[in-house]
Amino acid sequence: MKYTLLTAVAFVFLIAACSDDNPTSANSVSNDDPLSRTGILYVDESQHLLVTTFNNVHGNRCDLENENLIWKTLQKDAVTDSSQYEFIGDTLVLYDYYEGGADNYGKLYVGGTAGNIYGSWVYTGIGRNRKTGEQERSTNTRYETRTYTYSPGKVTIQVEYHMDLYVADEQERGYMESSFMVELYGYLARRSHMDDVIYVMDNKDQASSIARSIEQNGVQIIEGTKTNQTFKIGDKTYTVTVKKAETTLHYTGRTNREVKLEVTDGTTTCSSYAIYKTVDENLCKTENLEYFTVYDDEDEDGNKLFYVSRYKNTDHEKFQECLSGIALPITNVPAPSLVKKANP
């Protein structure tokens, strides 16, 4: 359990921060902004420990009760967390602190003053192994800036999402270089399963997977743009066209996506759509229940509860059935490329 050893210390400090002698208490600061949270900070410089406590933390959840979806606003009185910190030059490293000691894997922050915890620190997306000193990137921070600002008795966490960069990168790469296309080639050649069309917007570099799928499935690219492509597999010619690809940002930082596309062999056209969204008050309706996966959890009193979080509306199965009708006849499936192995 995290922060167990420091809970008592944090509680004492919390009382002090709430007193009339401490008018700059974080209790007077609203946490209504989902991209900014302000709380109470306790620093033990002798042990290099940080304890942060956030009061009146709000959240929302779509609960399933008696087969009805109900939108609820939740609030926790206090959320306390703790970390051990160290400085490596002008870089701050924070290690999660658990009962029994600190984790060996820390996160790197820059921007403040070496040796001084107070100031603004920006998460780099890089982690460090304390034992080996090795560092590796664990988070892509191109699309998110997370800033921690520490001052005596106060901590503020500010998040900024760069949705314009995310969408620009997605569109610059084009939808014909996605994991969906990797699976489409294989499915039409009757060699692989079929991914949901939403993965035409996966925003990842799939160049090596695309090249491998083209080779393995005997694909010949005839022409194409970022939103459509005509190609041959065996003696059949196909065209895939992305009719709509829209990415928006939910305030939690998750992406909402909607896509519509078509695949045709010149005679039959298979159309598909997919809508993936983070649940909000408008979507939390009982009539939408079929588009959610229901999860279970327990509250603080051990009572079972059920909730939904991700709206998913797609005609994927119908689309697969249509594609099966225009895929290569089994007798015409090209042989996979043979790779000659080097002698041992």
Q: How far apart are CA 67 and CA 287, in angstroms?
A: 10
Residue 133 region, left (φ>0) first, then alpha (ψ -120 to 50), else beta? left
CA-to-CA dists, residue 235 to 77, 232, 328, angstroms:
66, 7, 8
Q: How far apart are CA 24 and CA 37, in angstroms?
A: 15
CB 144 within 8 A of CB 162: yes
Please name which of 97, 92, 8 lies closest in space to residue 50, comparing C-alpha atoms.
97
pLDDT by residue, tens only, the chain of 344 residues: 343 333 333 333 232 233 233 222 222 233 456 688 899 999 999 999 999 999 877 788 999 999 999 999 887 778 889 999 999 999 999 999 987 788 999 999 999 999 999 999 999 999 999 999 999 998 889 889 999 999 999 999 999 999 898 888 888 888 999 999 999 999 999 998 888 999 998 878 888 999 999 999 999 999 999 999 999 999 999 999 999 999 998 877 788 999 999 999 999 999 999 999 999 999 999 999 999 999 998 877 788 999 999 999 999 999 999 999 999 987 655 555 543 334 43
CA-to-CA dists, residue 320 to 188, 194, 259, 314, 325, angstroms:
10, 7, 16, 12, 9
Q: How far apart are CA 238 and CA 326, in angstroms?
A: 9
Residue position matching structure tokens 């160049």: 207
Reported pTM? 0.73
CA-to-CA dists, residue 121 to 10, 138, 160, 262, angstroms:
22, 18, 14, 47
Q: How far apart are CA 159 and CA 148, in angstroms?
A: 9
Amino acid present at 106 = G
* Kind plus residue range of the DSSP H or E element containing 135: strand 135-137
Q: How far apart are CA 101 and CA 48, in angstroms?
A: 12
Would you list the domain boundaries of the chain?
A: 4-59+75-161, 164-332
